[in-house]
Chains A and B, each alone.
Chain A
Amino acid sequence: MAEKFDAIVVGAGPSGNAAAYTLAKAGRKVLQIERGEYPGSKNVQGAILYSDALERIIPDFREDAPLERHIIEQRVWVLDDESFIGSHYRSDSFNKPPYNRYTIIRAQFDKWFSQKVQEAGALLICETTVSDLIMDGSRVIGVQTDRQGGAVYADVVILADGVNSILARKAGFRPELSPGDVALAVKEIHFLPQEVLESRFNIAGDAGVVIEMIGKITKGMMGTGFLYTNKESLTIGVGCILSDFKKQKCSPSQLLEEMKAHPSIQPLLEGGEMKEYAAHLIPEGGYNAIPRIYGDGWLMVGDAGMFVNAVHREGSNLAMTSGRIAAETVLELDAQKKPFTQKNLAAYREKLDASFLMKDLKKYRNLPQILHRNPQFYTTYPELLNRAAHTMLSVDGIDKKSKEKQIRDSFRQKRSLFGLVGDAYKMWRAFE
């Protein structure tokens, strides 16, 4: 006798957990199916937790969620081969609770989040893959799993099965993932004694630092690097658009090795013991890559919906927000005794559009393409900027005016006036 639930959530990552929690808390009969051995086993992230998104789901999460450090300083570095030019923002107001962002370790965080979901009343089944959606015409009425007797039914199915959602592709909701729309990122966790870490990064207590990097470290490929401080470890990683990796025939782990050897980065890792390595795909296509995210009897949340703001490296908060909003849409329709038809579920999209989620994605919708077509932003500009800084900061008897001219000339030489103007325009377009 196949079981029936109010809702089935496919996936126990941040978006799936957000959806399942919200529904279960409201008393719905929820089944969550995760293909990994345990929630989080298939998930990889930097990782940064955005309080705002989680607060709206679990307001008192700070009480028992495993949090590493709250971020008080953000550094943005533009790297050349042996140097970087960057900007730091450090604020003491970030050091006053309630804290806005934290670094987390996903394995522990996902375990905690899943516990909350189960405490709220959802039923969780792991090590089970949903192989197909069960359809009645065009309506989704359940899921088929890879286990014997594995058909389960529900009034609504929420697809939270990640960037490479096979389910969405099989059902025709999403096309095959294009290598130009995803990045492949790799990361390592290096353990350092707490005192060393704190003195090296000038932090104390539970305060933390985040470094985002761009430049020659990605060898002309479109991508970014990052370094985060956890309680007693550092997370370092890099990711580039998959199509660039393929074209360049470069391996991500090799790229990471070289990045770690950069003279500005290597000292930060000194004495650390590498204990963890992971890789994952990240949606990068942005607004233009968002597929159909709702239909008769189904909704799509999280990475499956390609909700990642690449510019600001925001993914998990968009995932949680979309999961929450999807659940709220379901609850609303339920309260109004309306069926989960495509027409009615359009409210999900409307809510997303009204939220920061779609607004931000829409704002940066042209960025992926513009950046991808203009590798000078990853190579030439970092070079020029670094050399400019070097020129200005070297005291060598040359007068400042000449130095300025030298810098201007170098820019024009590399990019030409036409190119410079064009680049400025592209940047403006990308960010507008």
Chain B
Amino acid sequence: MSAVLETRSLCKSFGALTVAANIDFRLEAGARHALIGPNGAGKTTFVNMLTGRLAPSSGRILLGGENITRLAQAARVARGLGRTFQINTLFRDLSVLDNVALGVAERRGVAGRMWRPASGYREIRDESMALLATLGLAEDAPRRVLDLPYGKQRLVEIAIALGLRPKVLLLDEPAAGVPSVDAERILQVLDRLPPDIAILIIEHDMDLVFRFARRITVLVQGEVLVEGPPNEIGRDRRVHQVYLGESHHA
């Protein structure tokens, strides 16, 4: 299969501290891929380099075969790279609808217009409402994000990313800090995502990872330790030693 997202020898150092060392990674089209590793393994740094929040020290990032290593975040989003954040990064004082609509408006290229009222762009509102409905958030559309329970806020994160119609979706710990009931709901949402979107999920919840992912990469101290299907990762002794302890998921 062709790689929709690829990194070649990607490195990141902060002074003497190396947080990513020669990471070679491939995300296939339509993939359901998980990136796991203990705390401090460099997972979020890796995602931040992919999205352009952090500039790599060396190496290359290819999106659909195009070198995007030096592109700004906005240019990467325009090319189909969407993300959610480990800690909710929402417009907390705005409505759920506006949280999604801001992204939809950016994608449709109307966000810079200043003559017609925003509420006059019905197509943006309708698309945002339809998206919220698919995630079970339609009734929450007029509510302030601040007033939503945390689990729903995680879903709003996903809704904003989906509003960008990404080819590649990077989900940074989508179930972090949510009760198990909400984690189950998030998993259901992830299962229903369009199959043509390649998804890379970073997650500590091993149950969710092994149920969702068809391929797993294990990152340890900024390096890829091993990569393979869940059953192989679950049996790998090195993974057990550095990350999974004695529990066995395969």
A and B: partners? no
